[in-house]
Every structure is written in structure tokens, then in C-alpha cells.
Amino acid sequence: MGRKSIRIAGDDHVEEVTTTFKKQPDGLFRKILNYSLRDRTSGNVLKKLREEDTDELYEKTSDEDYDHSISFQDFDGEDVLIKLRLVKQLDD
């Protein structure tokens, strides 16, 4: 049997935060936060609100002591996991 769902009348938007990392010339990675407005019904990004560079720098690590991890598939279809550990904040 089908399931009935009720959609909200009007806009159904949500503010979304995406975390990315940008590699610096010294080999460390800077954490960047991207804020955008997404339509829940269609899943489309309506507009990018702002991009915020943080003062947090990370390094790649193979230890089990890490702060963030990034997983993706490479060109051969193999799963890759990159672990990043906080090194310093530029405010310090």
C-alpha cells in the first residue's frame, strides 16, 4: 500500500553547513565552512550564503588519534580514508 505524506505549504528551506579542507603551500590543511540554503523538497541548493575560513590547521595522520576524516573513492574505485589531526590554531 502507498504511504501518504503531507508536504508543508510554502517554502521548506534549511540552512546547511558543509565542512571542507584546503591544502596550504606548507602541506597543512585549513578548515573551511560553507553555509548554503537548501530546499528540502527538491534537494537543490538555492544559494550559497557565505564561506568562512577558520584559523584551524590540520595535518594528515595515520594514527587512530584524529579529529576529522574524509572518505571517498579514487579513480580505480578503491575506498580511500584520509585522517586529519588538529595541529594549531592561528590565534595561538
- Give backbone dihedrals phi and psi of 91, rounded to 5 degrees, phi first: -70, -30
For the stretch 32-81, pLDDT in tens is 999 999 988 888 898 999 999 999 999 999 988 999 999 999 999 999 99
pTM of the model: 0.73
DSSP-H helix ranges across the chain:
none
pLDDT higher than 70, residue 91: no
For the stretch 9-34, pLDDT in tens is 778 889 999 999 999 999 999 999 99
Give the Cα separation of 63 and 65 in Å (integer). Answer: 5
